[in-house]
């Protein structure tokens, strides 16, 4: 039987699944398609790591490993919803919740001392950060705005802030002694096994990583960020923000860059509160309170210290005397430095640029901002966008073009695959990358505290990436630009490969160029202001950045993008958009039984999944279902059935009802399969006749607290009851056959 795997993930996307999945299952079975689920939530991944400590009923299979194997098979058809890329605070919170639910899990060892603690830490490290995406992404990314979404955005433009030519907002970046400037890169001539070795000043050697298998043609990079240079840079930016009267904000990605960026975040916290750490740093360290976990974690642990009140007063004094901090939540006093995973660069920077280049201050007002992005690898794309908006004003969603993306990400390409090869250097010396013969391929002189990392990019994904770029450029008739900088070591090697592999394709009549990221940004912005489209062909990090930056400016959100990953062995992975707003939506649901999560990304992914299944399995009904879903989604947008913004309007559950109604009506109208049309004509009639009753049942539950039995691991029965409150709708779905 044909099969679609629908992932159970986290937060708002998981809750929405309890409402939407029954609809999918009911409709798909009419085409002989079975819809199965796999739990790759953060809690599920934690549970799967400790079967030896849990009861038979509590144990879970390692669904992520299973899906990783499936992604290499031609029959793979996986719909992947946003999941938590766990920071350490999120991981600790998950462990605490699971303990409260009766799961016998060990505490997270901050500084493992014994073999048992090191083994426990290793298990937990498997689920930290972006543990999911590198496993599933056995292909490169094709991400674009569907025509229906683009048309809707032009007809119903979202609000954009007004830019001033006098705006003081800017980006601060190191430009030297950082990852970009220290990067070295090699291309392997043949299969090999590498090791990473730290050589102390006295010649003593410590193996940091061994047995690193690489393939012929693979690009391997090594680089480091100087801790001393980082601290000097941050000290300058704190003073600059204070002198210029702008907000101080840091923009990192502690979730994806789960080793390096929490460390950098800790440096930022210490730089802002330099006097506090100079006086109380030893007390905080002795209590296990780390700047890497953010100000919130430190403040939350001060009550246990004898001088905790004194230290808290010192932090408050520093906040009063230092530059104003950008706020995550002004009402709750949560600053940009409270939690490392609260401010994720690819979401925070576009949001700032959309709202006049400003962020919120402690008084709940918008203010010009100094955006601190320490590493200069990609900071220039944001400065280029700010410069464009300051000169030309805000972009106009009703007329602007689009910047779809073809992203290199297969097989953990580039920086996002660096977790197991990133180290905070303990002592002065040299870090060397050696091949199996002992030859030194790359080498850096390092000091204590420096952050060193290596990355890999395999040749097969690069070749596939070039092929996908040419395919998309040909299919859309749109210019394609490879965002690669010839002055950067890694990019120089990629440029050579791209130039070579473009020769394998017919590019006659196509416009395909190579530009450095800042230049490509300016070029793309000039074109979209004229209403023209430009495909950005980027590496993994820029894929992440661009598929938020341009959609947030163009559509108001990145959640409405069509995201397809054509897997290299023939299968399909269909992603449903970004999950950055998911935590706030869950909080609102629990408080007042209202879920604002927009499942539009799920609708697009499902239609693409059905289309792929129809092609792979020659399933005519699957194609009819997918085509009808596309038409229903356009009606859904035109009728404005996305979740409203306040109580008394339809929320996520209501939007699912209307999608089901329009989908049934489209299936009833199609003329290629009379039996299918008859089956859905009956359902469409029932739903249309009971429309008001169903809406009333959905609205009736709003306004009261909702009990879902847990944040990271909701109780399935409670969550289903909350997310399926219309008996009339549920009964109608049960009649589909």
**DSSP code per residue over 487-524:** TSHHHHHHHHHHHHHHTTS--TT--EEEE-HHHHHHHH
Residue 89, pLDDT score: 86
- Report the DSSP pairing between strands 535-538 and 2-8: unpaired
Whether 579 shows a pLDDT value over 80: the answer reads no
Identify whether the C-beta of residue 442 lies closer than 8 Å to the C-beta of residue 433: yes
Asked whether residue 721 carries a pLDDT value surpassing 80, the answer given is yes
**Confidence (pLDDT) at 582:** 65
* CA-wise closest residue to 39 among 98, 88, 95, 81: 81
CB neighbours of 509 closer than 8 A, spacing ≥ 6?
none
* 195 and 210 Cβ atoms separated by less than 8 Å: yes
Buried b (16+ CB within 10 A) or exposed e, 684-700: bebbeebeeebbebbbe
Helix (H, G, I), strand (E, B) or coil at 328: strand
pLDDT of 458 strictly over 60: yes
Tell me the per-residue pLDDT of 1-58, one tens digit each, with 9 for 90 and over: 689 999 999 999 999 999 999 999 999 999 999 999 999 999 999 999 999 999 999 9
Give the global pTM. Answer: 0.86
331: left (phi over 0), alpha (psi -120 to 50) or beta: alpha
pLDDT: is 560 or 383 the higher one? 383
Q: Is the pLDDT of residue 583 over 90?
A: no
Q: Report d(CA 128, CA 122) in Å as an integer.
A: 10
- Specify the 3-state DSSP secondary structure of 141: strand
DSSP H stretches of helix in 79-226: 88-100, 115-125, 133-136, 147-155
The region of weakest confidence among 166-170, 213-217, 583-587 is: 583-587
pLDDT of residue 255: 82
Question: How far is 37 from 494, CA to CA, in rounded Å?
Answer: 38
CA 152 to chain centre: 24
Neighbours of 480 (CB within 10 A): 25
In this model, does residue 601 exceed pLDDT 60?
yes
* Over residues 294-323, mean pLDDT: 94
Contacts (Cβ under 8 Å, ≥6 apart) of 593:
701, 702, 703, 704, 705, 706, 722
How far is it, in rounded angstroms, from Cα 155 to Cα 638? 9
Q: What is the mean pLDDT of residues 343-353?
A: 93
**Neighbouring residues of 251: CB distance < 8 A, sequence distance ≥ 6:** 343, 345, 348, 349, 371, 372, 373
Q: What percent of the chain has pLDDT over 90?
A: 88
In percent, the amount of the chain with pLDDT more than 70 equals 99
pLDDT one-digit tens code per residue, 115-152: 999 999 999 989 987 788 888 888 999 999 988 888 88
**For position 578, what pLDDT does the model report?**
65
Instruction: Mean pLDDT check: name the lowest of 100-104, 399-403, 580-584.
Output: 580-584
Q: How many CB atoms lie within 10 A of CB 374?
A: 25
The pLDDT assigned to 60 comes to 95
To which residue do tokens 């906040």 refer?
Answer: 319
Output the average pLDDT for the chain: 95
Q: Which residues contact 538 (CB under 8 A, 6 or more apart)?
A: 405, 406, 407, 408, 482, 483, 517, 546
- What is the pLDDT confidence band of residue 426, given thresholds at 50, 70 and 90? very high
- Name the residue among 176, 184, 305, 308 with its Cα closest to residue 230: 176
Q: Which residues pair with 199 in a beta bridge?
A: 205, 430
- Find the largest Cα–Cα distance for the chain: 83
Report the pLDDT value the prediction gives residue 263, as an integer from 0 to 100.
96
What is 383-430 written as a DSSP string? HHHHHHHHHH-S--TTT-----EEE--TTT-BGGG-GGGEEE--SSEE
Look at 76-85, 448-457, 493-502 and tell me which has the smallest mean pLDDT: 76-85
């Amino acid at each position: 039987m044909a099969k679609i795997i629908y992932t159970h993930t986290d937060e708002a996307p998981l809750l929405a699944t309890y409402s939407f999945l029954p609809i999918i299952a009911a409709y798909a079975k009419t085409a002989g398609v079975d819809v199965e689920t796999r739990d790759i939530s953060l809690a599920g991944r934690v549970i799967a790591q400790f079967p030896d400590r849990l009861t038979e009923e509590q144990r879970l299979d390692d669904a992520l490993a299973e899906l990783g194997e499936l992604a290499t098979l031609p029959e793979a058809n996986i719909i992947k919803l946003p999941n938590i890329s766990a920071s350490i605070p999120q991981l600790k919170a998950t462990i605490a919740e699971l303990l409260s639910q009766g799961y016998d899990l060990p505490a997270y060892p901050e500084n493992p001392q014994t073999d048992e603690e090191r083994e426990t830490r290793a298990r937990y490290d498997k689920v930290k950060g972006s543990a999911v995406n590198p496993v599933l992404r056995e292909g490169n990314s094709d991400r674009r705005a569907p025509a229906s979404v683009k048309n809707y955005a032009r007809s119903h433009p979202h609000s954009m802030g007004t830019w001033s030519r006098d705006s003081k907002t800017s980006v601060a970046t190191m430009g030297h002694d950082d990852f970009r400037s220290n990067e070295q890169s090699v291309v392997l001539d043949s299969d090999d096994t590498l090791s990473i070795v730290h050589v102390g000043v006295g010649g003593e050697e410590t193996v940091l990583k061994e047995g690193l298998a690489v393939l012929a043609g693979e690009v391997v990079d090594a680089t480091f960020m100087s801790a001393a240079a980082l601290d000097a840079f941050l000290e300058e930016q704190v003073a600059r923000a204070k002198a210029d009267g702008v907000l101080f904000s840091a923009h990192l990605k502690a979730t994806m860059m789960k080793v390096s960026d929490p460390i950098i975040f800790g440096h930022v916290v210490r730089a802002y509160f330099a006097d506090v750490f100079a006086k109380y740093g030893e007390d905080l360290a002795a209590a296990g309170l780390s700047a890497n976990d953010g100000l919130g974690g430190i403040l939350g642990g001060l009550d246990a210290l004898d001088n905790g009140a004194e230290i808290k007063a010192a932090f408050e004094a520093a906040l009063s005397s230092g530059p104003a901090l950008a706020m995550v939540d002004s009402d709750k006093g949560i600053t940009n430095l409270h939690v490392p995973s609260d401010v994720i660069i690819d979401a925070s920077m576009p949001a700032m640029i959309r709202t006049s280049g400003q962020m919120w201050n402690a008084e709940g007002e918008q203010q010009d901002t100094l955006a601190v992005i320490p590493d200069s690898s990609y900071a220039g794309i944001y400065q280029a966008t700010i410069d464009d908006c300051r000169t030309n004003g805000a972009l106009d969603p009703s007329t602007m073009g689009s910047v779809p993306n073809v992203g290199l990400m297969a097989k953990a390409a580039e920086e996002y695959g660096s977790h197991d090869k990133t180290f905070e250097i303990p002592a002065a010396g040299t870090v060397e990358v050696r091949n199996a013969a002992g030859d030194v391929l790359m080498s850096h002189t390092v000091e204590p505290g420096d952050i060193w990392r290596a990355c890999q990019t395999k040749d097969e994904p690069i070749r596939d990436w070039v092929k996908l770029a040419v395919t998309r450029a040909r299919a859309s008739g749109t210019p394609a630009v490879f965002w690669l900088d010839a002055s950067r070591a890694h990019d120089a090697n990629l440029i050579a490969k791209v130039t070579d592999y473009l020769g394998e394709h017919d590019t006659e009549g196509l416009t395909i160029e190579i530009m450095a990221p800042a230049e490509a940004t300016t070029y793309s912005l000039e074109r979209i202001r004229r209403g023209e489209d430009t495909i950005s062909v980027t590496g993994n990090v820029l894929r992440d950045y661009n598929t938020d930056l341009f959609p947030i400016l163009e559509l108001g959100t990145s959640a409405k993008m069509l995201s397809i990953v054509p897997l290299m062995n023939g299968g399909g992975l269909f992603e449903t958009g970004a999950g950055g707003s998911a935590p706030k939506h869950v909080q609102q649901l629990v408080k007042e039984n209202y879920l604002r999560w927009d499942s539009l990304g799920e609708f697009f992914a499902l239609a693409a999944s059905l289309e792929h299944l129809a092609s792979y399995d020659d399933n005519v009904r699957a194609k009819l279902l997918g085509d009808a879903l596309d038409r229903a989604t356009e009606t859904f947008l035109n009728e404005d059935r996305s979740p409203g913004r306040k109580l008394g309007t339809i929320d996520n559950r209501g939007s699912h009802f209307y999608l089901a109604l329009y989908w049934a009506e489209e299936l009833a109208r199609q003329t290629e399969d009379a039996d299918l049309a008859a089956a859905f004509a009956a359902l469409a009639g029932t739903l249309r006749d009971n429309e008001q009753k169903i809406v009333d049942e959905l609205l009736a539950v709003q306004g009261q607290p909702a009990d879902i039995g847990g944040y990271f691991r909701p109780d399935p029965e409670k969550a289903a009851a909350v997310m399926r409150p219309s008996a009339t709708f549920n009964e109608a779905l049960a009649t589909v056959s």
